[in-house]
């Protein structure tokens, strides 16, 4: 795993499988299980799903290849990578933007991961509640208390502990077992969900093609979500790519990671929406609370629901942990490589800082009205906008500064037969930057005019 890389010389992943699992561990997280269904609900259903799919395949995969290639070629943290490939230029600020963005995403990511920890504990000790109304009250009550701060602290502490190097290799081994397990539980949830009464209305909302609700804000949201869910746009994949060995094929790795990420998001939606529409009174545009209000209703409706629910929240928390590690790792790698800090100090200081920055997010969902909406705003600015801008700059960098020829040469070092070089170069040089810029400009014009 990454921490072995910090000891002495820069290390590398054990094998391609290890790398794909670690990168998939970074990608698969709250973005898939919490964020994706939330946005599908907010942006009106199947139209968003379709746009999202296109964004992942046409923008996400090429940008992931670009980031991994930058990382492997430069063998450095994001700031160092830009410094190395474009010395004495301002490109290093793309890396700086990434580091800042990582810190701020981590701040609220840990808050939401804390919610899943809370659900794990209470599902185990108290069950899920007996009626939709009770489930709703339990959640609102939790948010209207200072408890989210405590779970935020617990989650952040675990993340810091892992990144400090506490469980050498442990994460690597555990993801190999836990990710397939998460998939299995998700599949079982889907099965139950689609067989609930009235489930078809949810399937209809989720999957029946409906282009009428697609607008520029839908496209921006889908694009932002694609970057977030694939861990792109802030150098996480540059960092992970910097530990990737010359033997491994970048393009197919990127494809495996993206497809597994898509699959988990798709299944999460398929578990949520049928269940949602079968419970009277629940609305799809619930926002951040969505999965915490819907899923307990499934757990309530199945045998061994309590056990099932506890396991589910545990697995989501673990998926969130492997993602949070990669967020923290970017900032830590920067402080180690560029500022000469020790790994221990970097992880501790950044963890405390991210915790403090997350306090308004933890309190704003019901306890302190002054902070209301803080979480969504930080999520929009850093979990979406900044990633999209970062993705745009990364495309421009590879396409126009470093050069796609150098990048393709790097990819071909491990895969001499890489035949998609031309197509990929076209995407990175023209299509991706143009598409991203067009949508950004449109949004900006919308805001200003």
d(CA 154, CA 332): 19
d(CA 436, CA 432): 6
Q: What are phi and psi of 419, to 5 degrees?
A: -95, -10
| Closer CB to ligand TRP, 135 or 378, in the complex | 378
Supply the minimum distance, in Å, between the C-beta of residue 222 and ligand TRP.
Answer: 14
| Closer CB to ligand TRP, 63 or 282, in the complex | 63
What does the DSSP assignment read for 69-138?
Answer: HHHHHH-S-HHHHHHHHSTTSTTHHHHHHHHHHHHHHHHHHHHHHHHHHHHHHHHHHH-S-SSHHHHHHH
| Closer CB to ligand TRP, 185 or 319, in the complex | 319
Give 189's contacts (C-beta < 8 A, 6+ positions apart): 271, 295, 298, 312
| Closer CB to ligand TRP, 136 or 239, in the complex | 239
Q: What are phi and psi of 305, to 5 degrees?
A: -55, -35
| Closer CB to ligand TRP, 74 or 327, in the complex | 327
| Closer CB to ligand TRP, 196 or 316, in the complex | 316
Supply the minimum distance, in Å, between the C-beta of residue 160 and ligand TRP.
Answer: 15
Task: Count CB-CB contacts under 10 A for residue 165.
Answer: 16
Instruction: List residues near ligand TRP by CB under 6 A.
Output: 26-27, 29-32, 105, 228-229, 231, 234, 236, 323, 326-327, 387
Supply the minimum distance, in Å, between the C-beta of residue 201 and ligand TRP.
Answer: 27
d(CA 34, CA 132): 19
Supply the minimum distance, in Å, between the C-beta of residue 87 and ligand TRP.
Answer: 26
Closest CA to 263 of 179, 176, 384, 200: 179
Supply the minimum distance, in Å, between the C-beta of residue 61 and ligand TRP.
Answer: 15
Supply the minimum distance, in Å, between the C-beta of residue 379 and ligand TRP.
Answer: 11
| Closer CB to ligand TRP, 135 or 237, in the complex | 237
Supply the minimum distance, in Å, between the C-beta of residue 34 and ligand TRP.
Answer: 8
What distance lies between CA 201 and its chain's CA centroid? Answer: 28
238 close to 71: Cβ distance less than 8 angstroms:
yes
| Closer CB to ligand TRP, 194 or 255, in the complex | 255
Instruction: Determine the residue with CB nearest ligand TRP.
Output: 31
62 close to 226: Cβ distance less than 8 angstroms:
no
Supply the minimum distance, in Å, between the C-beta of residue 280 and ligand TRP.
Answer: 31
d(CA 449, CA 447): 6
69 close to 250: Cβ distance less than 8 angstroms:
yes
């Amino acid at each position: 795993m990454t921490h072995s890389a910090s000891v002495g010389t820069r290390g590398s992943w054990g094998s391609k499988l290890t790398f794909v699992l670690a990168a998939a561990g970074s990608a698969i997280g709250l973005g898939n299980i919490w964020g994706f269904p939330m946005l599908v609900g907010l942006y009106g259903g199947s139209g968003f799903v379709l746009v999202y799919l296109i964004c992942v395949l046409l923008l996400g995969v090429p940008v992931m290849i670009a980031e991994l290639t930058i990382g492997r070629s430069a063998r450095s943290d994001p700031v160092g990578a830009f410094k190395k490939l474009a010395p004495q230029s301002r490109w290093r600020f793309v890396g700086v933007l990434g580091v800042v963005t990582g810190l701020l995403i981590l701040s609220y990511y840990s808050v939401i991961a804390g919610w899943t920890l809370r659900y794990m504990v209470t599902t185990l000790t108290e069950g899920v509640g007996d009626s939709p109304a009770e489930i709703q009250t339990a959640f609102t009550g939790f948010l209207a208390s200072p408890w989210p701060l405590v779970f935020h602290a617990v989650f952040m502490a675990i993340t810091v502990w892992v990144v400090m190097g506490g469980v050498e290799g442990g994460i690597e081994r555990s993801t190999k077992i836990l990710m397939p397990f998460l998939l299995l539980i998700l599949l079982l949830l889907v099965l139950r969900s689609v067989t609930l009464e009235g489930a078809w209305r949810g399937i209809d909302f989720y999957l029946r093609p409906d282009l009428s609700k697609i607008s520029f804000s839908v496209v921006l949201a889908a694009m932002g979500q694609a970057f977030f869910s694939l861990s792109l746009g802030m150098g996480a994949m540059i960092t992970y790519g910097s530990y990737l060995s010359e033997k491994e094929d970048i393009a197919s790795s990127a494809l495996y990671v993206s497809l597994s990420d898509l699959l988990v998001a798709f299944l999460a939606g398929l578990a949520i929406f049928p269940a949602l529409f079968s419970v009277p009174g629940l609305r799809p545009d619930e926002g951040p609370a969505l999965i915490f209000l819907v899923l307990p209703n499934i757990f309530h409706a199945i045998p061994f629901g309590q056990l099932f629910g506890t396991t589910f929240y545990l697995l989501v928390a673990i998926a969130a942990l492997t993602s949070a590690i990669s967020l923290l790792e970017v900032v830590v790698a920067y402080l180690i490589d560029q500022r000469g800090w020790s790994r221990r100090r970097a992880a501790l200081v950044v963890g405390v800082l991210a915790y403090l920055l997350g306090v308004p997010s933890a309190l704003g969902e019901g306890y302190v009205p002054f902070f209301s909406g803080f979480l969504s705003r930080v999520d929009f600015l850093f979990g979406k906008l900044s990633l999209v801008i970062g993705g745009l700059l990364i495309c421009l960098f590879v396409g126009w500064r470093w050069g796609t020829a150098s990048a393709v040469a790097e990819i071909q070092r491990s895969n001499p037969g890489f035949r998609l070089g031309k197509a990929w170069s076209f995407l990175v040089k023209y299509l991706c930057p143009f598409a991203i810029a067009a949508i950004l400009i449109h949004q900006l014009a919308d805001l200003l005019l």
